[in-house]
Amino acid sequence: MGVPGVVPVWLLWYIAVNGPLADLGWTVREPTENDGMVPILVPIVAASGVLWWLANRFLRRWNTAAARVYWPVCALVTLVPTATLIVFS
């Protein structure tokens, strides 16, 4: 998904930081976060997940790797743009 794939990953991280990780005391909540991100998060992450799955299902036909290798590699490669932005920011 490239750079557009950064958006759902960032949204999931934002929710995790302001929700469960803050409840555990591992992070500090954003003091101005009171809007609720779920109405924005659900359609964006769902659309991205469906597009990711459809694209990889289409590409899987021509790939000779075993499914147990192909799908985890696809998931990790999806995180490369996000990791690159984190490293170079």
**What is d(CA 70, CA 20) in angstroms, rounded to the nearest whole number?**
30
- As a whole number, mean pLDDT of residues 4-15 equals 84
Residue 85 has pLDDT above 90, yes or no: no
Q: Does the reported pTM lie above 0.75?
A: no
Range of the domain at 54: 3-27+36-87
Look up residue 68 and give its two tokens: 């147990």
Give me the helices (H) in 1-89, please.
6-18, 20-23, 38-60, 67-78, 80-87
Domain count, the chain: 1
Look up residue 75 and give its two tokens: 């998931």
Residue 1 has pLDDT above 70, yes or no: no
- As a whole number, mean pLDDT of residues 34-59 equals 85
Between 12 and 34, the more confident residue is 12
**What is d(CA 60, CA 32) in angstroms, rounded to the nearest whole number?**
43
pLDDT band at 24 (very low <50, low <70, confident <90, very high): very high
Residue matched to tokens 């009171």:
34
Helix or strand or coil: residue 19?
A: coil
